[in-house]
Amino acid sequence: MNSRKVFSLSIAMALLFMVACTSESQRTEPVTTTTDKGASTAPPAKEAGKADKALVRAVNALPGSAPVDVFVGDTKEFNNVAYKAVTPYKETPDVQKQFAIKPAGQDSAQPLAQNTEGISGGDHYTAIAMPNPDGQPTLKVIPDKLTPPPSGKASVRVINASPDAGELDVFVKGKEEALVSGVNPETVTNYKEIDPVTGALEVRPEGKPNALVTVPAQKFEAGHLYTIIVTGKAKGAPKLEAVKIDDQLVGAAGGAQASPTTTPQTKR
């Protein structure tokens, strides 16, 4: 290979590295989010940031709860969010705000849970309602940090929203190494980079081989960021389940196109 070709290749690789390392708020790609209910697309982070808006979505992981409304400040941003629902991202002013959940349609009711968080323009956040080990509602606002994984890799994180399942490991069935291990209750792990893989997803008690719940036919693709939310109860109803959220920066280097999938869940 001559010096000109080596130089050109080096420049191309440097540009790809710079694009991959662009901070979340400066990304120019829209984000497509896919769950078993379908897909939605949020505007580019940089575009939202120029308007001094953050991008927020809501998740109701309160087992067996009635639908809730989610307030950001004094504004009801999300209506009638059912159990296990994942809303699309919504642009929200980027100032310190009090987040709160109330029973759906009861605007004057006392909040079931609330939390005060500062949110930054162009960044993505998930406001998730989940129970503590006593079964009482809590509300967490989680930075999503949506930047593409390295070329050829996927990223995965786990949220343990079950009040009674204890510490958890999450495996792809047949693999010796856990996707994520030792996830405490009410905990959100950092993203972990993994090789693309397809197989049944098993949620196990930490350090034990038996699956508490199995989700068949799961696919983890290069260029995607996955959030696995473990919700429900290990004992009693509603049963333990795993909700998968698939985020992708559409058009990011090395990314693949997302497609909605629906997969049944079975409990052992």
Contact 150, 55 (CB under 8 A): no
pLDDT in tens, 111-135: 999 999 999 999 999 999 999 999 9
Query: Which residue type is seen at 78?
Result: F
| Kind plus residue range of the DSSP H or E element containing 47 | helix 45-50
* pLDDT value for 253: 62
Nearest to 155 by CA among 59, 63, 56, 20: 20
Burial category of 93 from C-beta neighbours within 10 Å (exposed 0-12, middle 13-18, buried 19 and up): middle
pTM, entire model: 0.86
pLDDT in tens, 72-109: 998 999 999 999 999 999 999 988 789 999 999 999 99
**What would the two tokens of residue 9 be?**
């290749």
